[in-house]
Structure 1
Amino acid sequence: MKKGRYYRMEEKNHLQNDAGGAAEFEAGMIVKGIEISWTTWGRMRGERLITGPVSYLKAEGDSGFERIYSVDMKENQELEIPKMISLIKAGILPDSILITPMTRPSNLAEILANRGFVVNEQPPCILLYLDNFRENRYLINQYTISEVTKMAELKSWLDIINKNLFEGELVTTEQFGDVLRLDNTSFYLGFSEGRPVSTCMTISDGDTAILEMAATLKDYRCRGFASCLIRKALADLQEKGIRTVSLRAEEDGVGVYTRLGFKACFNRVIAFYNRKSI
């Protein structure tokens, strides 16, 4: 459990020792983005969203997202943590937990590792101040961008997501359609010579937003398509008065986001209980 101990101590100290409070603010904005994301997925059909000291999303059918995305136990930890673990092991709660510097208790990763969970550090959560963003409307030959508004376009968008992020149909077109119809979401689709090759979406709330589902088909990577598409999404957010944008980056995308002005704030941790190993 070396990673869990390191994460708990170092990240907590980093937030406490920041004289200007910037790190704590940024971590708070990222955690808010996580909440925006999961509560939005909770508006899909076939999803059950529960918020409280243990906030989670549970799929009620064969498709959908599942995760405990927030644990904030300020009282009765000695009773509530064993109860949560028992419900996870029984299959009543999702079998994975997202852990951030805002998670309470702060040693939850250690506790879970000692109770048979696999605990892994993930790529960083990152943040962009849009005041520092300057759109560069550079053009790529035969590359065009459109905002998804129709279900037929959404199917093409989801095909790319399924191939590159989910490795299968984790969420149906109809479920994502529920999100597409929300007023605070925007879906983007990039085309190379008329073929859909890249995707992303944004979800906004007040003056902050989260960037989600950025993906590019394998044969079309490293050509600037992802940067071009994300720049368009960020520029649209800037026009709406959004001030900060966060996302949970994948390892192979960190460089793209860094060049766009994002900064890494902390590495999230995922704790997973593998029932198949029982």
Structure 2
Amino acid sequence: MRQTVALIGAAGKMGSRCTDNLIKEDYKLLLCEKSEAGLKKIQEKGLKTAPTEEAVPVADIIIMAVPDVLLSSIAEKMVPILKSDATVIMLDPAVAYVGGIPMRVDVTYVVTHPCHPPLFREQETPEARKDRFGGVAAIQDIVIALIEGSEENFKKAREVCCKMFSPVDKCHRITLEQMAILEPALSELIGCTAATILREAVDVAVDHGVPKEAAESFMLGHINIALAIAFGAVDADFSDAAKVAVNIGKDWVFKSDWKKVFKPEMVCKAIYFMLHPERGKK
């Protein structure tokens, strides 16, 4: 039987990508969007929208492509009107991890997230090589977790997730707790922070008189090989001098207790401030 899929936030950053892939599949797709700009964006694609309050009660699968800061309040209104045996798919673990989603015993809850195209994977086409985010042409993996509900509905949700992030190679099944370790701890608190430090370091080099183009080329080239060595993508090792520099850098640049960000209480604390940015960081 053809499944009905409601996509909430269909014109958003993630929602737009999901829309572009799911319209190619054999689903009855109900696109839900509130903003005027979003509605116009969908109409410009030649697609129709459906009111959320009408789409949600009839949907077999509901995809929550909305910002984390809005997810809890939207879910509070949406969950009570879900039909029995429906499946809710969230695209980020944060809100569910801290208990911000109303739960029903007759509803299946799933969370998924793209891994994004890996740095050292050989993509086959120029279009794929330009697809840094994934979901257009570049092959990527995804992660998925069953929070609560039936295995049968989880399998159906998995199929939807692979299609909306297509092309997908591997779909890694993990737990909600493990996904929260991956994001925000691993990818954002560590990965994104490290990326911004690298960017800022280039700016500092420029402030010290190095031409910007030379500084960027030098950093990006060295980071490419450094990551390849660190992750075993090449059969090589850091030079003896580089190993000394790494030890010095860890002492000068990073806090000695940085690994504490992976502790559950720190993950919860980070999520709290991410969901309440107006309250600042502690």
Structure 1 length-normalised TM: 0.28
Q: Which has the higher helix share?
A: 2
Q: Which has the higher contact order (CA 8 A, sep 6+)?
A: 1
Determine which structure has more spread, i.e. the larger CA radius of gyration: 2
Higher relative strand content: 1
